[in-house]
């Protein structure tokens, strides 16, 4: 399995079994995990004052809450997001159609590989911008 040592990842998932599996997958890959959080308010409280490298987000949260307002905040802060959902890609608003998505039930290695790609893409983007400065 690919390693992700030193990365801090937010997990927002309301299903306890799925959340615990994601935490185990991430910790086995060397990540520090923030959460799991079943609601947006919990996630905002848990990340306050912390630096996170990425977020794994379920679409439908506890009490029929949708994760999209949190995703807007994370993306505005340039935190890469990975959607993990049991719903079809059509359940995601058009503005999030380019966000990588994994369908439930997820494969453990797929989560790590997608997260690694997402983080690699972020590093390349940031590196490219820095190198373009005079």
For residue 119, say if its preceding peptide bond is cis, omega within 30 degrees of 0: no
Are the C-beta atoms of 22 and 36 separated by less than 8 Å?
yes
For the segment(s) 8-128, the CATH number from 2.130.10.30, 3.60.70.12, 3.40.50.300, 3.40.50.2300 is 3.40.50.2300
The residue ranges of every structural domain in the chain are 8-128
User: What pTM was computed for the model?
Assistant: 0.87
DSSP type of residue 106: P
The more confident residue out of 84 and 125 is 84
DSSP type of residue 29: T
pLDDT digits 0-9 by tens, 7-26? 999 999 999 999 999 999 99
């Amino acid at each position: 399995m690919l390693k992700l040592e030193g990365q801090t990842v937010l997990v927002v998932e309301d299903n306890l079994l799925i959340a615990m599996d994601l935490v185990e997958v991430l910790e086995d890959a060397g990540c520090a995990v923030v959460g799991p959080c079943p609601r947006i308010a919990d996630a905002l409280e848990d990340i306050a004052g912390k630096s996170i490298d990425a977020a794994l987000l379920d679409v439908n949260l506890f009490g029929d809450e949708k994760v999209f307002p949190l995703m807007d905040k994370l993306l505005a802060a340039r935190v890469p997001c990975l959607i993990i959902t049991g719903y079809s890609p059509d359940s995601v608003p058009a503005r999030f159609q380019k966000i990588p998505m994994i369908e439930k039930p997820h494969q453990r290695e797929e989560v790590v590989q997608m997260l690694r790609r997402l983080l690699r893409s972020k590093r390349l983007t940031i590196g490219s911008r820095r190198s373009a400065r005079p």
